Amino acid sequence: MAKSAHSGQSGDSAQRILDVAERLLQTRGFNGFSYADIAEALEVTKASLHYHFPSKADLGRRLIERYEQTFLAVLKGIDATGAAPREKLKRYARIYADVLRDNRMCLCGMLASDYATLPKAMKEDVRHFFDENEHWLVAVLEQGRKSGALEFKGSPLDLARVIVGSLEGAMMLARSYGEPARFDTAAERLIASL
């Protein structure tokens, strides 16, 4: 079914809101911006924002959903290349590096830092994002162990959790120092250790 001109514009407005909110969240955190900040950036009223996203929690959930869909599509693209497991891990780390180089942080990493103050549904969405990352990493690690391309002790799930936690933490520290190269070094050493 074709969209009417009005619904197309409405969809464009929602995307513009999400784009601005995503950048604010990735640079300031969920508690570091308000609808007033988005309205000012877009030169619209706060009421128009509430039309698309009645509450900040609604906006937050949509941001997580969109971010996860994009992230998982990138992971699917990595799988489609047929790259070796170690190369897949390098490409996974590069996702984080590229976000950091754009002067942003992982959206869900930023939300994890605000976790205690998030609405319950958003907490579940954040955990789902990390669960999906761990699931993908487990598959890569199992493939690598089976082929002999990767060597590690313990379970693939434990290592997947170490990888996610290490990359998220490395992003935070690199950002604190304003040195993306700190992230690169940490990621390279982590992957080389396998």
178: left (phi over 0), alpha (psi -120 to 50) or beta: left
Record the pTM.
Answer: 0.91
Instruction: Provide the strand spans (E) within 20-129.
Output: none
Mean pLDDT in residue range 29-44: 97
Contact indicator for 31, 60 with CB cutoff of 8 Å: no
pLDDT per residue as tens digits for the range 105-137: 999 999 999 999 999 999 999 999 999 999 999
- Position 3 scores a pLDDT of 33
Residue 193 reports pLDDT greater than 90: yes
How far apart (Å, rounded) are the C-alpha atoms in residues 32 and 48?
20
Q: Which domains does the chain have, with CATH numbers?
A: 60-192 (1.10.357.10)
Contact indicator for 165, 112 with CB cutoff of 8 Å: no
Three-class secondary structure of residue 184 per DSSP: helix
Token look-up 């869909």 returns 69
Burial class (CB in 10 A: 0-12, 13-18, 19+), 107: buried
Mean pLDDT in residue range 27-41: 97
**HSE value, Cβ hemisphere, 13 Å, CA-based, for 91:** 20
- Position 10 scores a pLDDT of 61
